[in-house]
A and B are shown apart, each in its own frame.
Chain A
Amino acid sequence: MSQATDIRAGSPLQSVVSWLLRNHIWVFLALTVTVFSLASPYFLTVNNLGNILTQAAFIGILAIGMTMVMIDGEIDLSVGAVLALASALAIGLQDHMGVWPAVFLGLLSGAALGFLNGTLVALSGMHSFIVTLGGLIGIRGLVFVYSGENALMVPDFSYTEIPEIYLGPISLTAIIFFALAVLFQWVLSSTRHGRETYAVGDNIEAAHDAGINVRRHKIINFTICGTLAAVCGILLSMRLGTAEPNAGKIWELWTIIAVVLGGTRLQGGFGSMWMTIGGVLTLAVLRNGLRLLNTPNYVELMVMGAVLVLALVLDKLLNHGEVP
C-alpha cells in the first residue's frame, strides 16, 4: 500500500502533482475526452455523454464488485456468467410468479453463487482464479440448462420501461451505478469491513493475526461481487427485454481491464472506487469515441489492448518499480 510518490511535506504544486501521479487515470480520461471532443462534433453533446454513462454503467456495476474482491487480492472470473443467469431467471420466472419476485430470485441467484465462490475459496484455500474459472465455465452451463439455447423473451414489455427514468440526461441505470460506487467507496473508507478489505489484501497473515476473520471476510466480498453481477444482469434484461444465454460473455475481461486501468492492483491492498470509476469511464469513452469516429471494430480491440499495457507501464514507472 505504500506510495512511493507520496510527497508529504511539499508545496501545493507538489501535492497536486503527487495526486495526479497517483490518480493518473483521471488525467488520461480528461485527455481522451479532449481528443474525442476535437475529433468528433457529436462527442461532447449532452445526449452522447448521457449515453456514455449508461453504457459505462453495466461494466461499471460489475467493476464495483470486482474492485472489492481485487483489493482483497482475489479475482472473480465468473461475473459474466452470473449476470447471464440472473437475467435469464429474472425474465424466465416472470410467467410463474410476476415481475418483482422473479427479479428478487435473480438477485438471490447472484448472491448465492457469489457466496458459493467465496466459500469454496475460503474453505479450500484454492486460488480464486481457479475457483471462479470453474464457475465461469459451469455457471454458463447452468444458464444453458435453464434456458436452453434460445433467448428468453419478456412476457410483458412494460418491463423494459422500468429503467426508463431520467434525471436530465442521466439514466436510472447510470444513477444506480454511481450510487453503488459511492456506497461501496463509503464501505471501503469508513467501515470496519472496508479497513479489513485493505488489511486482508495487503498481508493476509498479518490480518489473520490481528484478529480478522479472513474466511468470513472473503465470503462477504465474493457475495457482494456476485450480487452486483446479478444487479447488472437484471438491468441488462430490463434494457433488452430478452435474456440471451450467451449474454455477458467475456465481460469479466472488460471488467478486469476497467478496474486495472483505474489503478487497483491485482496483488490486493491498494485501490478505490474512485479509481474504478475513472477506469470504467475511460473504457466507455474510448469505446464510444472510437465508434463515433466510425473506426472499424478491430481498432477498438487493438486500442484497448495497447492502452491496458500502457496503463501498466505508466503505473510501474510512476510508482518507482513497484510491480503492478
Chain B
Amino acid sequence: MRQTMNGVLRRHGLVLAFLVFLAGVALNAEAFLTPGNILDVLRQVSITGMMALGVTFVVLTGRLDLSVGSLLTLLTVIVVDQHNIAGPFPAIVMTLAAGLAVGALNGLLVGFVGLNALIVTLAMLSFLQGLVLFYSGGSNVNVQNAQETWFAVFGRGDFLGLPVPVILFLVGAVVAGLVLQFTSFGRRVYGVGGNETASIFSGIDARWTVFWTYVVSGFTTGVAAIIMGSRVMGAQNTIGQGYELTVLAGVILGGTSLLGGSGSVWRTVIGISMLGFIQNGLLLLGFAYYVQWLVTWAVIIIAVWIDLGAKRGRILA
C-alpha cells in the first residue's frame, strides 16, 4: 500500500496539488476557468513553453542552457528588424538560422571542447546581450506595417478557434515528445544523461548528442522569438531578460532532473503551464504581480523536494 502511495505521489503528486490550486482559484475568481482566460494563459505560456521544449533536451543530457533568454532577445530584435528590411519570410529564415548557429556554437563548446555548460552558456548570455546592443544600437525596433503584414499570424492569429502560438507550442511539444520517445536520437539523449560513460561504451557519440541538443534549443528559441516578435510587433533590448530562469523553473517544476537522464516533454509542458496558471490565478485574485515570485519559490522547492523524496523513499536526504 505504501508502495502504491509512493508511486501515485511520485507520478501524480504534483498534478494533484496543481488541481487543488486550480479549484481554489476558480472558487474565488469566476473568470479563471473560462475558455477565454485559459486560452489567454496558454497564449502567454506558448513563448516560454516553446523555449522550454528545447531546454528540456539539453537538461536531459545533464547540461544547462542559460543563454536562451539573451538569445530570445537577439532573435526577436533580428526578426522584427529584418521584417522591416527584407520582409517577413527572409526574416523568419534568418531568425531560425541565427538560432541554429548560436545553438551550434554552444554545442561545440560544451559537447566537443568539453567546457562546463553552466559557464559556457553564462558567457553566451553576456556575449549575446552585447550582440543585441551592437545590432540594435541600443534603440528599440518596431514592425512598421504592423496592421497589414501576414507575419502577425504567429503571435496574434487564430486557427479553428485556437490561438496560433498555442497550436505551435502544442505541435512542437508533440514532435519533441515523439523524437525523445521513438527515435534513436531521443534514446541517445536519455543515455548520455543517465550515464555518460556507459553510453560512450555502448557506442554512443556523446559529443554529437550534446551538440544536437543545443541546436534543438537554439531552434525552439528561434520559433519562440518569431511568436514574440509577431505578438509584440516590436522588440526592446531587454525583452527576453530573465526568461532563461522562468524556462528553467518550468522544466525543473515538471520534474525533469538537472542531473540528466530523467524527465520528459510532457512534464515540461505541465511545469511551464503550471507557472502560467499560478501567475494568472494570483493576478485574478488581486495580488500584485511580484507575489507570484514568492509562490513560485515555494512551489519549486516543495515540488522538487516531493519528487526527490518519493524517488528515494524518504523525505530527508
The chain A residues found within 8 Å of chain B, CB to CB, are 75, 120, 122-127, 129-131, 133-142, 144-145, 253, 256-257, 260, 266, 296-306, 308-309, 312-313, 316, 323-324
Residue numbers in B under 8 Å from A300 (CB-CB): 130
| Contact between chains at B115 and A298 (CB < 8 Å) | no
A305 to B105, CA, bound (A): 13
User: Would A138 and B116 count as touching, CB distance under 8 A?
Assistant: no
Residues from chain A with a CB closer than 8 A to the CB of B182 are none
Greatest chain B CB density within 10 A among A131, A140, A141 is at A141
Closest A residue, CB atoms, query B317: A125
Decide yes or no: A304 and B304 within 8 Å by CB, A137-B296, A266-B118, A324-B115 being known contacts: no
Which of A135, A305, A308 has a CB less than 8 Å from the CB of B130? A305
The CA-CA distance from A126 to B245 in the complex, in Å, is 17
Known A-B contacts A131-B301, A133-B300; the reply to A141 vs B123 at CB < 8 A is: no
Cα–Cα distance between A124 and B314 once the two chains are bound (Å): 10
Known: A257-B122, A305-B124. A145 touches B115 (CB 8 A): no
CB distance from A199 to the nearest CB of B (A): 18
Determine the distance from Cα of A324 to Cα of B316 in the docked complex, in whole angstroms: 31
Interface of B is mostly: helix
Residue of A nearest to B259 (CB): A127
Contact of A302 with B134 in the complex, beta carbons under 8 Å: yes
A298 touches B131 (CB 8 A): yes
Question: Which residues of the other chain, A, contact B304 by a CB distance below 8 angstroms?
Answer: 124, 126, 130
Q: Report whether A298 and B294 are in contact in the complex, using a CB–CB cutoff of 8 Å.
A: no
B162 at the interface (CB under 8 A from A): no
Residue B201, interface by CB 8 Å: no
Q: In the complex, what's the smallest C-beta–C-beta distance from A4 to chain B, in angstroms?
A: 16
Q: Is A138 in contact with B317, judged by CB distance below 8 angstroms?
A: no
Report the minimum CB–CB distance from A293 to chain B (whole Å): 15
- Select the residue from B113, B123, B132, B308 with max chain A CB neighbours within 10 A: B123
Residues of chain B with a CB closer than 8 A to A297's CB = 130, 133, 138
Docked-complex contact B129 and A309, CB < 8 angstroms? no
A141 touches B293 (CB 8 A): yes
**Closest 9 A/B residue pairs (Cβ):** A138-B297, A125-B317, A305-B127, A301-B130, A141-B293, A302-B130, A298-B133, A144-B290, A308-B123
Q: Given that A120-B301, A126-B308 are known contacts, is A298 also in contact with B116, CB under 8 Å in the complex?
A: no
> When chains A and B are docked, how far (Å) is the Cα of A256 from the Cα of B113?
21
Q: How far is the CA of A324 from the CA of B123 in the complex (A)?
A: 15
Give, as a whole number of angstroms, the nearest-CB distance from B82 to chain A: 19
Min CB distance A143 to B, Å, is 8
Q: Indicate if B298 sits at the interface (CB-CB under 8 A).
A: yes
Contact in complex: B119, A133 (CB < 8 Å): no
Q: How far is the CA of A130 from the CA of B63 in the complex (A)?
A: 14
> When chains A and B are docked, how far (Å) is the Cα of A129 from the Cα of B259?
11
Besides the known contacts A134-B297, A257-B126, 15 further A-B residue pairs in the complex with CB atoms under 8 A apart: A125-B308, A125-B316, A126-B304, A126-B305, A127-B259, A129-B258, A130-B300, A133-B245, A140-B293, A141-B291, A145-B290, A297-B138, A304-B127, A308-B123, A324-B119
Specify the chain A residue showing the minimal Cβ separation from B237.
Answer: A298
Majority-rule SS of A interface residues: helix
A127 nearest CB neighbor, chain B only = B258
Determine if A301 and B297 form an interchain contact, defined as CB atoms under 8 angstroms apart: no
- Contact between B294 and A308, CB atoms less than 8 A apart: no
For window 231-264 of B, CB contacts with A under 8 Å fall at: 245, 248-249, 252, 258-259
Q: In the assembly, what is the distance between CA of A305 and CA of B119, in Å?
A: 9
Identity of the chain A residue whose Cβ is nearest the Cβ of B299 in the assembled complex: A134
How far apart are A248's CB and chain B's nearest CB, in angstroms? 14
Contact B301 A142 (CB under 8 A): no
Given A137-B297, A144-B293, A145-B294, is A301 in contact with B127 using a C-beta cutoff of 8 Å? yes
Task: Please determine whether B296 and A134 come into contact, CB atoms closer than 8 angstroms.
Answer: yes
Please report the C-alpha to C-alpha distance between residue A122 and residue B317 in the assembled complex, in whole angstroms: 7
Residue of B nearest to A307 (CB): B123
- Residues from chain B with a CB closer than 8 A to the CB of A313 are 113, 115
| Shortest distance between the CB of B306 and any CB in chain A (Å) | 10
**Which chain B residue lies CB-closest to A143?**
B290
Q: How far is the CA of A200 from the CA of B109 in the complex (A)?
A: 29
Q: Is B1 an interface residue (CB 8 A)?
A: no
How distant is the Cα of A250 from the Cα of B49 in the complex, in angstroms?
A: 23
B120 at the interface (CB under 8 A from A): yes
**Once bound together, how far apart are the Cα atoms of A266 and B116, in whole Å?**
8
How far does the alpha carbon of A17 sit from the alpha carbon of B128 in the complex, in Å? Answer: 35
Q: Which residues of chain A are within 8 angstroms of B119 by Cβ–Cβ distance? A: 256-257, 260, 266, 308-309, 312, 324
Q: Which residue of B lies closest to A323 (CB)?
A: B114
Determine whether the beta carbon of B133 is less than 8 Å from that of A142.
Answer: no
* Cα distance, A125 to B301, chains bound together (Å): 11
One digit per residue, 1 when the CB lies within 8 angstroms of any chain A CB and 0 when it does not, for chain B 276-291 equals 0000000000001011
* Docked complex Cα distance between A300 and B134 (Å): 11
CB pairs A–B below 8 angstroms (14 shown): A131-B301, A133-B252, A133-B300, A137-B249, A137-B300, A141-B291, A145-B294, A301-B126, A301-B129, A304-B130, A305-B123, A309-B115, A324-B115, A324-B119
